Structure 1
Amino acid sequence: MESAANEAQLLAEAKQGDRRAFSLLLEPYRNRLWAVCLRTCGHRADAEDALQNTLIAIWQNLPKFRGESSISTWAFRIAQNSALAIIRKRREVTVDEDAAEYVFDRADDTDHAEANAVRDRVQRALETLSEDFRVALVLREFADYTYEQIADYQQVPVQTVRSRLNRARKQLKEALLAQEQIEL
């Protein structure tokens, strides 16, 4: 497979310090890495910090990457860990910062406004989930982890992952419905 060979070549070059190869290696995963950080952290600024920490950690540890998993699995694990580290040391965000982010981030285009509204509703609903449920759901839906990969990451049996995902989806749906009721 040509893309696997290309990825292997980029990996080898990046391990030797080639920044262009590093950028090309991670390019296919950049949006999903961002999604993992954003969905886990819940705040754009925290997610930006988590993504920055992720890219630095990947770059610094790339020579140690042994290839026991795919580069994407390894990168997503680093992203998840970086985001969780940010959450653990997060300070409370003030209302003024939230308002400023809303004003500067707001687009006049209604499609963007609607997309932002949906994203915000989903993010608020995700924040209601326990960390185990949220992490499992984010890894499955935004990082495309398999059940086995999530089980390995969370150090639980696959059946526990299935249960967590089922319960997380149910709780997420309930939280979204509750938000909808409040907005009416």
Structure 2
Amino acid sequence: MSEQVDDQILKYFREGNQQEAFKLLMNTYQQRIYWQIRRILISHEDTDDVLQNTLIKIWKGLPAFKGDSKLFTWIFRIASNETFTFLEKNKKHSGHIDLDECYQFSGTSSDHIDGSFIQQKLEQALLQIPEKQRMVFHLKYYEDLKYTEISEILGTSVGALKANYHLAVKKIEEFIKTD
């Protein structure tokens, strides 16, 4: 289904039907990109800023998209790069995590968060692991991507991804057991 939608987006775009291409792109990817970014940045305001930059880059980059990868992979790569760029620019502030916002985020309603105690513990544990591990965990666990797809998105070897995912799972398990 996703590849058919991606093909339709590209078809609309190449045929000059920008409005339909944009509408389909937003309907298909905006929420998924938002949650990919949000699970790393936590803050709704920061996520909105990065999402806006990401969507602009995607739209401006569409004419140059060559199809060497799936559109989905290309889009998530841009979102990942924008997220990491934001984190680098704001590194001096990243040591401060607003716990109220974290707990509010843990209870947020979404397709993935049902408010259960275990889910809240998982979300809190995710806040404790490094951004790279959080991103790998998100793409593998929530997006259910294969390591090869994550490798294309993050530009990292499959072996390094497996190690990051394993470390993330281990840290999450430890957090849930000890808390």
TM-score category by the smaller chain? 0.7 to 0.9
Partner-residue secondary structure (3-state), 2:27: helix
Q: Deviations over 1:14-65 (max 9, x none)?
A: 2436133222134223322111110111211111111111111101111011
Deviation of 1:116 after TM superposition, in Å, equals: 9.0
Aligned counterpart, 2:73: 73
What letter corresponds to residue 60 of structure 1 in structure 2? K
**Map of 2:7 onto structure 1:** 8
Specify which structure has the higher proportion of helix.
1
Give the conservation status (yes or no) of the 8 Å contact 2:147–2:158. yes
Partner residue in 1 for 2:42? 42
1:177 CA drift (Å): 3.4
SS of equivalent residue, structure 1 residue 115: coil
Distance 1:136 1:38, change over 3 A: same
- Superposed counterparts of 1:152-163, under 5 Å: 152-163=152-163
**Residue 85 of structure 1: aligned partner:** 85
Normalising by structure 1, what TM-score? 0.73
SS state at 1:151 partner: helix
Structure 1 stretches lacking a partner, 5+ long: none
For 1:168 and 1:82, the matched residues in 2 are separated by 22
Partner of 1:175: 175
Cα 1:158–1:114 shift into 2, 3 Å: closer
Q: Provide the residue aligned with 1:144 in structure 2.
A: 144
1:14 maps to amino acid: F
Q: 1:66-95 deviations in whole A, cap 9, x for unaligned?
A: 111111111111111112222222346686
Aligned length: 169
**CA spacing shift, 1:123–1:53, aligned 2, 3 Å:** farther
Q: Distance in 1 between matches of 2:19 and 2:118?
A: 36
Whole-Å separation in 2 of the counterparts to 1:49 and 1:118: 30
Aligned residues of 1:40 and 1:80 also touching (Cα < 8 A)? no
The structure with the larger Rg is 1
**Unmatched 5+ stretches in structure 2:** none
Deviates more, 1:69-78 or 1:135-144: 135-144
CA distance in 2, matches of 1:135, 1:143: 11
